[in-house]
Amino acid sequence: MILKPRDVGKLLPTMLILLILTANAYSEVSSQSLEILKRVANAEKEVAYVGTRMIVVNTSRGTVVREEAVIHQPPEIHVVTVLPTLEDSRPLKLSDQEPRKGSEQNRRNGRRDEGRRDRRRFPLNRRPIATLSEKEIELLAQNYTFDSVTADPIAGQETDLVTVSPRFEARPTKRLYLARDTGIILRIEDFDSDGNLRFMSVYTQISFETEAIQQKLTERNRDGKSTVEKRRRRSQPITFDEANKVLDDKLIVPTYLPPGFALLEARYFKHRSDTVYLRYTDGMLTFTLFESSSGQERNRNRKRAGVQHIQIHGKSARHEKRGPTNILQWSISNVNFTVMGELHRDELVKVAESLILAAEQ
């Protein structure tokens, strides 16, 4: 059965009953998970600290290492500064020696290019659990198990190791080392579905002393640097009805979702054209569906390294893999579709196939 936005309201009672039944089925095994998640979330909201941590990222291009200084004082202050003491251990490639685009002044001082290089090499920072919505926390508890054991001290703090394991295949595993007294995460290890370490963050020094925190804040203020993290989003929240109007009643929602995934939010932004995106998650992994209207279908036949042209239900689509992220793109009736996320390609293809089938109805 193909569901279009206008049909969703008719099935809401049934959907709510199914959600309640699903939650009840997991309630017995997820109570410990919810307790751990809430403890970590509350710690980030209540506990102040300063410290130094090591970040290790394993990519297809090699291993990247950096050191960061952190100042955290809830509710507003969270400052992360990359320290210049460590060198990038990623193997040098020929492309690294090629001149980069930008003004001559930027190339001389290296500031702009260095920023671009950091953004390209490092994935987006893992979202702190404290910033997760209630729905995301519930999905985490439903789709992953949380097992806690005593672990060795880290940065002078007694710790407990929490292993976060998926209930479904082809999902990542995480290890969280929590400070026993405060609940702050001192070490994170992120493994892909094959057990390969993708990301690690570990504190080498940390202090919860008020005097040490105030000293770091004073030093930063003396240097004229802001202690308030400012984040700007180009997009804005939008309802399904509003999203449908943006796309002239052509909004399509997937009828297939990977096990454990649910819609988290719908948002709108305008770039080259009006764009709606729907974000789905299982609490840890996410995938995003972008739909944008245009006067004509985009030319997807341009050659680009790493891009494959595949057929999905008789429709030509582009597949590209950027690090752990799979990206699928295609166009139907002057609506451009992009589905991207850290899911196995086969799962994204199933999502795309359901969208193509829905668009044909």
> What rounded mean pLDDT belongs to the chain?
80
Residue 258: its pLDDT value, please? 97
Q: Which of the residue ranges 59-63, 98-102, 112-116, 350-354 has the most confident prediction, judged by mean pLDDT? A: 350-354
- pLDDT score of 86 more than 60: no
- Least-confidence region, from 99-103, 126-130, 185-189, 302-306: 99-103
What pLDDT, in 10s, does the model give residues 306-354? 789 999 989 999 999 988 899 999 999 889 999 999 999 999 999 999 9
Question: What is the model's pTM?
Answer: 0.76
Domains of the chain plus CATH, in order, are: 19-86+126-222 (2.50.20.10), 233-359 (3.30.200.100)
- Overall average pLDDT of the 53-63 stretch: 90
- Overall average pLDDT of the 98-113 stretch: 43
Residue 222: its pLDDT value, please? 81
What pLDDT, in 10s, does the model give residues 32-52? 888 898 899 899 999 999 999
Higher model confidence: residue 53 or residue 128? 53
What pLDDT, in 10s, does the model give residues 269-319? 877 788 999 999 999 999 999 999 865 555 554 566 678 999 998 999 999
How much of the chain exceeds pLDDT 70, in percent? 73
- pLDDT score of 184 more than 80: yes
- Overall average pLDDT of the 83-110 stretch: 46
Residue 105: its pLDDT value, please? 47
Provide the pLDDT confidence category of residue 96 given band limits of 50, 70 and 90. very low
What pLDDT, in 10s, does the model give residues 203-262? 999 999 999 999 999 998 887 666 555 555 677 888 888 988 888 888 999 999 999 999
Question: SS3 sequence, the chain?
Answer: CCCCHHHHHHHHHHHHHHHHHHHHHHHHHHHHHHHHHHHHHHHHHHCCEEEEEEEEEEECCEEEEEEEEEEEECCCEEEEEEECCCCCCCCCCHHHHCCCCCCHHHHHHCHHHHHHHHHHHCCCCCCCHHHCCHHHHHHHHHHEEEEEEEEEEECCEEEEEEEEEECCCCCCEEEEEEECCCCCEEEEEEECCCCCEEEEEEEEEEECCHHHHHHHHHHHHHCCCCCECCCCCCCEECCHHHHHHHCCCCCCCCCCCCCCCEEEEEEEEECCCEEEEEEEECCCCEEEEEEEECCCCCCCCCCCCCEEEEEECCEEEEEEEECCEEEEEEEECCEEEEEEECCCHHHHHHHHHHHHHHHCC
Residue 84: its pLDDT value, please? 87
Provide the pLDDT confidence category of residue 85 given band limits of 50, 70 and 90. low
How much of the chain exceeds pLDDT 90, in percent? 54
- pLDDT score of 97 more than 60: no
